[in-house]
Structure 1
């Protein structure tokens, strides 16, 4: 039987892979855009401090990619 990671576990794992962002799990946002759920995370440190992101998968790799994309967009001036 496969054990799924909690949002807190995923945030902890992403923080190990990408230190200095203090990523925290906010909760599950249900029924957004007709999708069953998004997992919401917020960075409390780093270049995107205070920014939240919603991902469709509670998987460390998916959350890491979302955080990297958020940082890239910030550095390119696409978001402030």
Structure 2
């Protein structure tokens, strides 16, 4: 194998690196579809993001992070007093 030609793993790593850089360089307004973002209108014609939906997602993520893992079984520990 020629020392100048990159191995398959190196080329895969390079593609992954370039993809991550491209993702990080994109702005959110290019990614989000205007229909996917719920918004409520203000009386002056401006638009506010739907905070209730944000709060719902936040609560769901918190509940997932605090839920007990199905793999871990916690037995009762009796403390001798």
Which band: TM-score by shorter chain? under 0.3
TM-score between the two structures when normalised by the length of structure 2: 0.24
Relative contact order: is structure 1 or structure 2 higher (C-alpha 8 Å, sep ≥ 6)? 1
Higher helix share: 2
Higher strand share: 1
TM-score between the two structures when normalised by the length of structure 1: 0.24
